[in-house]
Structure formats: C-alpha cells, structure tokens
Amino acid sequence: MVSERCGRSSSSSSSSSSFSAENLASGSAEEDQTADPPQAERSTMATGTTPADAVPSPVPSASGSASSPSAPGRPGSFISYITTEEVPDDGGASSSGGSSRDRKDYNNASRNPPSMTSSIRAHVYDGGLRYHAFRDGKYAFPNDEIEQNRDDMKHTMTRKLCHDRLFYAPVEDALRKGGQCLDLGTGTGIWVIEMGDAYPATSFTGIDLSPIQPNYVPENVHFFIDDFEEEWVDPEDKFDYIHVRHTLHSVRDRGALLGRIFKHLKPGGYVEFQEMHYVPHCDDGSMTPETPYAFRDFMSYLEQGMRALGSDLNAITSLRAELAASGFEDIQQVTHKCPIGVWPRDKRLRLCGHFMRTATMDGLRGLSRRPFGTGLRWTQLQIEMFLVDVRKAVMDSRFHVYFPFHVIYARKPSG
C-alpha cells in the first residue's frame, strides 16, 4: 500500500506589473479599503538549499555583535514514512531489509526503534527556532509550530487566490479514475490530504525533510521523510501528476530535479509548479522604484541570502525555459496577484492580502535567521534592528503592493 520513495541507498533520489488577472487598483472593486491586521500565520517547509560559501552583503545602518551560524549538517541513512496501514498486534514496526533502506511506521512513534525516534523525529534548535534534523541545513527555514501555522495559512490563501482550485493541470480524469500523484515539499501535508479526500481512487504521496505531517490521514495518502533532490527509487513512468508548491525557491539543482520529474512521470503526465515571485509590485504608483520601502529591501536581501545558501528565491521566473529545455511540452502559465495587506476593495483579494500580511509578519524572524545570518553574515542584532522597519512597512496600508503568483504546468510527451 505504500509506494517506494526516493532514498540515498538505492537509486539515490518576472513578470511585469500588468497582468490580465484581477485588477487590484483602488478603484477596481466593490468595497471600501478598510481593515486592520491579524496576528497568526502559516508557511511551508520543503527541501532545498545547501549552504555554500557565505557571501557578505550590505547590512542595514544598525550595527551589532552577536552572530549565530547554522548547525552543521548531518547525514541520513534511512527513509521514514507515514501511512494508515495497520501495525502488527505484536507492536513490531515493519521494515524492509538493509539498514540504509529501513522503513518505519511513523503513525506509531512509540513502537518504533530508538534509532528512528532519535534521528527522524529529532530536531535542531538555532536561536530559539526549530529546524529539521534530517539533512540538517538543507532547508533554510524553521519547522516549528509558527511555521506549520504559516504553512496551513498559505494553503488557505493560495486556494482563495486560485478561486478554490487545488490544481490547474488537466489531470481531473486521471485522478478520478485512479492514478499516482506525488507532492514534493509537502510541509504539513494539507494539500495532499485534501486531494486524497477529493480523489479516493488515486494514491497520493507527500515528501518532505520534516516529520510534521499528521498521523491520521486518508488511506490513499502516504508521507515520506526524505530528500527529493537525491535520486528516486520509484520506477520510471510511474506518476500521472507531480505537484510542487511554495518549494522551488529552496531547490539547489533545478535541472537535475526536472530531469527526475520527467523520467518518473508517465508519458502524457503533468507537472505543476505554484510559486510566488518574491518582488513587491505596484500598479497605482503608491510605491515607485524611488520610494523608500523596507519590505522591498528585505526581499532583496532574502534573495541574496538564499543565493549564498545555494538556491534561487525567484526561480519561478526562469522555469518555463527550463521546462522546455528538459523536454516538456504544452507549457502553460496562469498568473494571479497576491496582495500584501488589506488594501484591495475586492473581498476575496482583501482576505488573501490579510493572510499574506499575517504570514509575512509571523515569519520574518524565521525567514531571516539563516539566510541573513549564515548566508550574508549579519549579526542577530543587525537582523532584529532591520526588522523593526520591515514590520512597519508591511503594516503600512499606503503601499498597494502585491506578489505575482505564477502557476506553471507542463506535459511529458506521450510518444
């Protein structure tokens, strides 16, 4: 019932500011621009970066002294999965041979051997934030409760932004008939679980570095703790649909990943990416290139920090060309505008902006800790002093800014 996943041991695993999407300008919808911010949030955790040599970057005028490098990496030697399969009455955790390919029933942690509990379920703490221990340092952002809340909030925001659609690729028939779907960088697993409920005939697999998924899931849903940037042990031509959302920014080698996706999709199967372009845009002149805006500076520094750690924060802007180079065809793109704040008149977009602003405010500390500290060599005091102005900018409703949200899907040729 559980499909084999990627693992080390076997075959080791711009958009311009004018779109034909919703008009967010102040005169474009029904209601008055009002609202006040919330304070709770969600974001996703996936796989992605490997620290490279840190590159110094301009720092804010504030100076400080304390610095905190990220914890050293540590190798992993197994795969863990979550499934709804029954555990034998004798309490033994099922496993398949070979210490480097052991599988453990993650739903019953108390029955698992100590090695699994201490390594897969352990976490690394850095500066009061919690990170995944498996392939420590590969993903730059935390996996603690705040981040899990951000993950779920971003899921709700994305559904609202996409008019309640969970996907855009034309795979409805394949999912209803029963197929294989893979979600890379599944985070809390909320997308996979909702898809599993909606399409019970299809088997859904979610992959992530962090063991933060729930224990009780639909019986057609399985979660694996693994690094999808390594070679996969799945057979070729296996999946009808592969989904990647809020994750591409942390992928180190996109060419290699696209090659694996191409190889493991069935002929005629689809891959879909849903990602923000993390550069604040504005259509009505409330923010210009000359306007002082600390949140725009924050995103610029974050992009530099992620590059220093080995990945591209805005990789979505070059994805279409990379998909074509990897052999995909029928490449399609849909672009929405995700407001930052509650300035839109349109109710749906105002709610999206409310979610986005809350997710941003709650995540600033976790988003900046390793990219700014490890990547750009900022001290913790410099980061905290800079974030004072960033928080003020995010909450300032005079700036009518948004992130472009790109949905790009493509098909593997049938021949």
Q: Is the pLDDT of residue 163 over 80?
A: yes
46: pLDDT strictly greater than 90 = no
Query: Which tokens hold the place of 7?
Result: 């693992």
Bridge-based pairing state of the strands 203-208 and 180-184? parallel
Q: What does the alpha-carbon distance between residue 277 and residue 293 come to, in Å, rounded to a whole number?
A: 17
* Closest listed residue to residue 379, CA positions, set 59, 126, 67: 67
Q: Which of 61, 76, 200 is nearest to 133 (CA)?
A: 76
Say if residues 77 and 99 touch (Cβ distance below 8 Å): yes
pLDDT bucket at 105, cuts 50 / 70 / 90: very low
Looking at residue 115, which CATH number applies to its domain? 3.40.50.150
pLDDT-derived band at 137 (thresholds 50, 70, 90) equals: low
Strand partners of residue 206 = 183, 223
How many angstroms separate the CA atoms of 381 and 396, rounded? 24
Within 13 Å of residue 125, how many CA atoms lie on the same side as its CB? 1
Q: Is 10 among the domain residues?
A: no
Task: Compute the distance between CA of residue 64 and CA of residue 171 in angstroms, rounded to an integer.
Answer: 53
Classify residue 374: in a domain, yes or no: yes
How many structural domains is the chain composed of? Answer: 1
Q: Which three-class secondary structure state does DSSP give residue 298?
A: helix
- Say what the pLDDT of residue 125 is: 73
pLDDT for position 285: 94
- Confirm whether 8 is domain-assigned: no
In a domain, 35, yes or no: no
- Higher-pLDDT residue of 116 and 368 is 368
Listed range (76-90, 233-247, 400-414) with the worst mean pLDDT:
76-90
Q: Is the pLDDT of residue 190 over 90?
A: yes
Residue 304 falls inside a structural domain: yes
Q: Which domain does 358 fall in, by range?
A: 80-411
Which tokens hold the place of 85? 């399969």
Cβ-based burial of 145 (10 A; exposed 0-12, middle 13-18, buried ≥19):
exposed
What's the gap between Cα 378 and its chain centre? 24
Residue 133: its pLDDT value, please? 67
Of residues 36 and 310, the one with the higher pLDDT is: 310
Strand partners of residue 314:
none
Q: Is residue 359 part of a domain?
A: yes
Give the model's pLDDT for residue 121. Answer: 67
- Per DSSP, helices labelled H in 63-139 are 114-119
Is 33 in a helix, a strand, or coil? coil
How confident is the model over 110-131, as pLDDT tens digits? 333 333 345 666 777 777 877 7
